[in-house]
Amino acid sequence: MAETAPIDDAIRERILADPEVVLENHDVMRALIAANERALGSNVVDLRGIAMERLEGRLDRLEDTHRSVIAAAYENLAGTNQIHRAVLRMLDPVTFEEFLTNLGTEVAQILRVDSVRLVLETVQSDEDPTLRRLGNVLCVAEPGFIETYILAGRKIPSRTVTLRQTFPSDDSIYGETAGFIHSEALMKLDFGKGRLPGMLAFGAEDPHHFKAAQGTDLLAFFAGVFERTMRRWLQ
């Protein structure tokens, strides 16, 4: 019979006093199981050890899922708080000019986007002095432009919110800054019966800031609040 290697008295007393320390340590348990398998020899199958390995694998996968769920929850909460702060800031201005200026500065900073454009379809010329006075956030276009821009030649129904990478050759919305914008969020706006539609465009330098696989609920909420705010200015 093989002799048992002596254990330091302090270690032995520590284990006996608190055996959970050993049981809860994955590395120690793996070493003990491996030693037990070596002691049994190659002709003996330790079903308990195999079961423990499988349970340990399931536990690891469960912990990874748990961490992913928590990370997603924190990300959603952060996104919700960000949209709420942007909405509150958007409602502060008392004139339409201040509203547009605020949209392109403080609201854009809160949302961490590099460009904000409000596209309005109109029969008026963009050379109208009233429109030019409203700054570079406002972009006027002929009727039908918004649907054409969103669909980009695809024969599919347009959605309320579209996330995608931008087209490098198209400067119809972002103007001189188009070369720096590589992804965008496009939100269709309904201003009510008898009015031409509008579109809110968020542009980002990061090509992965807006991607088709991302959720759009928060942006749809922001667009809904924006629509209702704009109707007040259009009365």
Residue range 124-154, pLDDT digits in tens = 655 555 554 456 788 888 999 999 999 887 8
| 6-41 pLDDT per residue, tens | 677 777 777 777 777 766 776 776 776 666 666 655
Domain segments of the chain: what residues? 9-62, 82-234
pTM: 0.68
Report DSSP letters for 98-163, one per residue: HHHHHIIIIIHHHHT-SEEEEEEE-SS-TT-HHHHTT-SSEEEE-TTHHHHHHHTT--SPPPSEEE
- Contacts of residue 139, Cβ cutoff 8 Å, sequence gap at least 6: 117, 118, 119, 120, 172, 173, 175
CATH level 2 (architecture), domain 82-234: 2-Layer Sandwich (3.30)
